[in-house]
Structure 1
Amino acid sequence: MSKKTAIRTREKWVDDVKVIACILVVLGHFFQSMTKANILPASDLYKWFNTTIYYFHVPLFFICSGYLYQKYSKVNSVGSWCKNVAKKALALGVPYATFTIATWVLKKVFSSSVNDQIGDLGDTLFLHPTAPYWYLYALFFIFLVTPTFSSVKAAAVGLIIALAAKVLILTGGGYSIYAVSIVLSNEIWFVLGMSICALNVSLKGRKVRGTIGGLLFTILSVAVYMMGIRNDAVSFAMGLLACVAVILMVADYEAKFGKCMDFLAKYTMPIFLMHTLFAAPTRSVLLKMGVKNAVVHVVLGVSISFAGPILAAWIMKKTKWLEFFVYPNKFIKR
């Protein structure tokens, strides 16, 4: 297979995993906003759900990014490193800056009606990124320090280093600088994704293991919540179990996913970037109109969290230049 052909080949399981992770990110942020605004009660069901998805939804994104990085990139020299950094600075930096600034402006303009206040623009952009854009911030710094693996041995060394970084964080080290701590904490997920590719791990035919892992994770998540365990090492172990289960199940069931998953896979980036920009104003408008019915807020809020970014992405694509703020690399290729 030529390099050009390989680039065109999409990994369906990766797309499907990103859709699942994206849906969970949206739901997590949405229900957090609902409880903070006192529209929905902070029930045990909500607390369990919110705690549980945070074990693994963002790690799934890092795993997918690492897999694609290893599969389609070759970064093993100063020249290739510089080229990759420039490419990622554009691909991640433009949407990161664009939507961080948009979020910052909205929170400043509607400061009286937002759930979480925000700091100065410079601090938010460069030192303490806001949710959900911290993921792009972290991913860029991970690309800065992570070469691709040229052999199985290199993958093993990479895993050892990434695990050591995670242990350092778990034992209380590396927290003084946010950019450093976020890399140390999430490098392991990224390298796990790279290793799946580098070690040519077979994901097919393991749906039984994935299903068992998923059931075990669900049972353990309930037990951990009920016992009130708040431990970073336990959270990491839970996240690892959940990620393995999700990936194994998705890889085996990918052919059974309908057109809805394929459709959403085209819009994971716009949904990730813009869901809060649509959901928060919708909630504020409804509250100003005196609408406090939880069902109305949930139905309209969840709907606009997905439909709004999809419609915006469609408009951006039609106007061409606006698409630059979501997919800047497309314009460089042109």
Structure 2
Amino acid sequence: MQLENGRANSVQPAAATRESWIDVAKGWGILLVVLGHALRGLQNVQLLPTEGWSHALDAWIYSFHMPLFFLLSGFFMEKAVQRPLDRALKDRAKTLLWPYLVWSVLQTLVQIRMSRYTSSSYDWTHMIGILWKPVMQFWFLYVLLLLSLLWLGLRRAGVPALALLAIALILHLTQEGSGLWAMWDLVRIHGVWFAAGAVLGVTPALVEKLRSASTASRLAVLGLGFAVTSWGAIAEADALLRSNILWAFPGVAASLALAMTLPQSWGLTRGLAWIGRLSLEIYLVHTLASATMRAILLHGLKIQDVTLHLVLASVAGVAIPVIMVLISRRFQLRHIFRFGAVA
């Protein structure tokens, strides 16, 4: 089967309308990201040990939350393939490259200034390094940009989506530890999830089948998936942190089932969807917000209560980016999060 412009494709693209369950899943995922980084921040300053319950929770979060995000990021990728090449590349630059560069520079500047108060050690060499070695959480945008360009080029060259998924799976399964470039290693680790999301995005019949499954079936996937990852986090925490597709799959499946099962009328569902639509902005700012809150509590107020730190750092990691988004909308501040657009 061919696309309108003649590019090969084995499946038809999904409807252009935004899927609300994707926003819910993104909201759930970004909350896990914020919590995971807040948790590791406390481990870095030795308020929490890297063992016991904190290690298990860390393994549970990191086993599936980034695979989930790569899968969701790939869902609308085929729409970019169908656009004119110059427009598709400009869109990637505006939504991925621009925020990566702007916020990598900003965060590096802040980290250099705050090194004396935080667990990090930054200097000016890190500023140059952002071209090939992303700082902290920004590796996600860097790898996502690489995957997007690879998918765009190979699909426009006529490689079927399902073939790319098979190639991505092979690359994932044949990992052999660290290679010459860490970003390529991450492409091999997470590319299979991006490709799976892209294939889901162009198979509306499969997505609809998943969404129309009985509530009992979705609840079973939800419960079993999180039960498996929870057991793994307790019994095999180190194994969960090795980016193994077998450990990630139950958590990803459970997260999708959760997003598809929560009633749309619930305030919780609407709240998660709203946070999900702001997931990029939260991702960009949350570590600065959480680190600032941790520094205030630890060095300013001399508070070492772990629960208070974890709660307030997580709340700050969501609330401060949201406040910044609202301010950017109020004053029409362009280029802060995406080039040429207000969040």
- 1:102 aligns with one of 90, 100, 106: 106
Q: Which runs of no fewer than 5 residues in structure 1 stay unpaired?
A: 1-5
**Matching residue's letter, 1:166:** H
- Tell me the amino acid that sits aligned with residue 66 of structure 1: G
Cα 1:312–1:234 change in 2 (3 A) is: closer
Deviation, 1:75, is 4.2
Other-structure match for 2:143: 138
Q: 1:295 to 1:249 in 2, by over 3 A?
A: closer
Residues 13, 254 of structure 1: 8 Å contact kept: no
Superposition pairs of residues 75-154 of structure 1, within 5 angstroms: 75=82, 80-118=84-122, 120-147=125-152, 154=160
**Normalization by structure 1: what TM-score?**
0.85
TM-score (norm 2): 0.83
- 1:328 corresponds to 2:339: yes
In the alignment, the residues of structure 1 paired with residue 46 and residue 251 of structure 2 have an alpha-carbon distance, to the nearest angstrom, of 30
Q: Percent identity?
A: 21
Which residue of structure 2 aligns with residue 168 of structure 1?
A: 174
1:16 alignment partner in structure 2: 24
**1:14 to partner: Cα distance:** 0.7
Q: Offset at 1:28?
A: 0.1
- Write the mapping of 1:162-241 to structure 2, written as runs, cut at 5 A: 162-169=168-175, 171-172=176-177, 175-200=179-204, 201=206, 202-206=209-213, 207-224=215-232, 225-227=234-236, 230=239, 235-241=244-250
Shift of 1:237: 0.8
CA 1:123–1:197 in structure 2 vs 1: closer, same or farther (change >3 Å)? same
- The AA in structure 1 aligned to 2:115 is S
The correspondence of residues 285-296 of structure 1 with structure 2, limited to 5 A, is 285-289=296-300, 290-296=302-308
Verify the 8 A CA contact 1:213 1:242 in the aligned structure 2: no
Provide the alpha-carbon RMSD of the alignment. Answer: 2.7
The CA deviation string for residues 32-68 of structure 1, in whole angstroms up to 9 with x for no partner, is 1112223344452211111111111111111111111
Structure 1 counterpart of 2:44: 36
Q: Is the 8 A contact 2:218 2:257 kept in 1?
A: yes
Unpaired segments of 5 or more residues in structure 2? 1-14
- Is 1:158 equivalent to 2:170 in the alignment? no
Equivalent AA in structure 2 for residue 280 of structure 1: A
Matches of 2:174 and 2:294 in 1, distance apart? Answer: 40
Q: Which residue of 1 aligns with 2:320?
A: 308
Residue aligned with 1:49, SS: helix
TM-aligned CA distance change 1:230 to 1:158, over 3 Å: same
Ranked by relative contact order (alpha carbons within 8 Å, sequence separation 6 or more), the top structure is 2
